[in-house]
Amino acid sequence: MNLISTSFSLFMISFVILLSTSCRSASASIVSEVCKNTTDPKFCTETLNADPRSKTADKKGLVRIITDKGLAKGKEDFDLINKLLKEARDPALKPLLEHCNFCYDLLSNRDFYDVIDALNNNDFVSASIMTTSAMDNAVDCEDGFNGAGVKSPLKSQNKYMEDLCFLSIEILDKMIKIKV
């Protein structure tokens, strides 16, 4: 009886190890599969693998991870813009920061929440459209500085937001084409 019990225990341990390895491998492969078909596979892989949810996510879950990152970063950037507005001494900078404040308010208080709602309803077309709106708000913020010939204090933030949104749009557009 002891031999049977030991054999069964060893079988169960082996099964659990095999199962966990298989799950890890499957999740790593979906990130690899999705990211290899994007414009910036390195950015995609680093962005998704930084979130533990990517280990068990499907494609929709990967888009949600990116959306959550965008929402958190958008709120962080919105706070930074407000701080810069309070500290701004240059009269040419203030209206540009006010414009960015408006853009990031839309991005962090409307656009990304609309993306989440669309994802929850499996409406990937609307999710892509609203992600494009979020990206446009970041681009619009940066374009204000470029158009005025003023050095942007938000260049890296706007670029990151644009890259994040573009990544999400790339994944969503592939999901729409194959009707996942």
The answer, yes or no, to whether residue 77 has pLDDT greater than 90, is yes
CATH architecture, domain defined by 2-178: Up-down Bundle (1.20)
The answer, yes or no, to whether residue 12 has pLDDT greater than 70, is no
Q: What is the pLDDT of residue 107?
A: 96
The burial class, CB within 10 Å (0-12 / 13-18 / 19+), for 13 is exposed
Q: What is the pLDDT of residue 125?
A: 97
Place of tokens 């958008």: 74
86 C-beta neighbours (distance < 10 Å), count: 8
Tell me the average pLDDT across 152-164.
Answer: 98
Q: What is the pLDDT of residue 40?
A: 97
Short-list 143, 161, 160, CA closest to 152: 143
The answer, yes or no, to whether residue 47 has pLDDT greater than 60, is yes
The answer, yes or no, to whether residue 105 has pLDDT greater than 90, is yes
Q: H helices of the chain, where?
A: 2-36, 41-49, 59-87, 93-106, 112-120, 124-148, 155-178
Tell me the average pLDDT of the chain: 89
Q: What is the pLDDT of residue 15?
A: 46
Q: Vertex 98, ends 97 and 102: CA angle to 5°?
A: 115
Which residue did the predictor score with more confidence, 151 or 21?
151
Q: How far apart are CA 160 and CA 158, in angstroms?
A: 6
Measured in whole angstroms, how far is the alpha carbon of residue 177 from the centre of its chain? 20
Tell me the average pLDDT across 59-75.
Answer: 98
Tell me the average pLDDT across 46-56.
Answer: 96
| pLDDT range class, residue 150, cuts 50, 70, 90 | very high
| pLDDT range class, residue 177, cuts 50, 70, 90 | confident
